[in-house]
A and B are shown apart, each in its own frame.
Chain A
């Protein structure tokens, strides 16, 4: 099925986010080859140039590296992977805090809510 995109962010940014998630979840393990641009573009139903742009982003972040003409591979550098994971965690927590702030929930209350929901889960 074609991937879904929101209207605010550039499509290549959304693709990069999704692929980054897939890499960090281990869907594409370290040192494994990811599918070709054309294959991924067809799967996502996006223009191959857009897919290319997303992969270039991930290359610049160090998550992917190109091996000549063979294709792109996931990095085996554990530090890079862990740093990317850490960034995502930090960004999510910042999001919760911002949303809590908008709803007028103090940090103390937020922690209480989390503990309560965790007990109920």
Chain B
């Protein structure tokens, strides 16, 4: 068994010492997997991703990326799509490509241009002039055009139309490096289910409630992942 791409041990995170968002969370994801990180609103999905990127600092616990303790160095392995876009609105799309080229050694500008073309996005347009959904597509293209080892996609398809959603999922399957792991958070479980290798349900108590192989869900539970999610979290709420 090769080194997992991401391992979290006894991870705890609270905000202002108040609510424990992640409580002794343990998880490990091996290379070459597409993983759905799923859970109800406010369960800590984005918090977990931000901890892995180093945007937040854990209260306690450890994070390993490709076997190394999380650091500035491991950030180079990670391609992160945040919930909100951070790109400068006054930039043109092609300027953004140059920007990413300067920032990331593993950025593939030709791939980015090809994807822009596929989605009919004008590379000379300023970001300010693009719609919310188109801006999200541009941001996702930038993130997927890197040859990273770990992709962290926080709600990659929420704001885009169904046709582009198909394209984006196809891009995720078709263009990512087979050694790399892709972690996707979303509530659109039905859309991403066929794409997933594995899934992990993050519960409201800040721990992984249930995880497994996406293909086995139907055989084991007799229902789709989407239906399983509804069932698990419905039961959960009645306690």
Identify the A interface with B (CB < 8 A): 1-3, 5, 7-12, 38, 41-50, 53
Contact = CB atoms under 8 A, between A and B. Distances in A.
Given A2-B169, A42-B170, A46-B173, A10 B195 contact: no
27 contacts: A2-B166, A2-B170, A3-B194, A7-B218, A7-B226, A7-B227, A8-B218, A8-B223, A10-B218, A11-B194, A11-B215, A38-B174, A42-B174, A44-B194, A45-B169, A46-B173, A46-B194, A46-B195, A47-B194, A47-B196, A47-B197, A47-B214, A47-B215, A48-B173, A49-B215, A50-B194, A53-B215
B224 A7 contact: yes
B195 A45 contact: yes
Contact of A5 (B169, B194, B222, B227): B194
A46 B214 CA distance: 11
Interface of B: 34, 166, 169-170, 173-174, 193-197, 214-215, 218-219, 222-224, 226-227
Contacts of B34: 47
Nearest to A3: B194
A45 B166 CA distance: 7
A42 B178 CA distance: 13
Given A3-B194, A45-B195, A47-B196, 13 more contacts: A2-B166, A8-B218, A8-B223, A10-B218, A11-B194, A38-B173, A42-B170, A45-B170, A45-B173, A46-B173, A46-B194, A47-B214, A49-B197
A41 B226 CA distance: 21
A12 B215 contact: yes
A41 B173 contact: yes
Nearest to B219: A10
Contacts of B166: 1-2, 45
A39 to B, nearest CB: 9
Nearest to A43: B170
Contacts of A48: 173
Contacts of B193: 11
Nearest to A49: B197
A10 B215 CA distance: 7
Contact of A45 (B194, B223, B224): B194
A10 B222 CA distance: 9
Contacts of B195: 45-47
A5, A45, A46, A50 pick with most chain B CB within 10 angstroms? A45
A80 to B, nearest CB: 26
A76 to B, nearest CB: 31
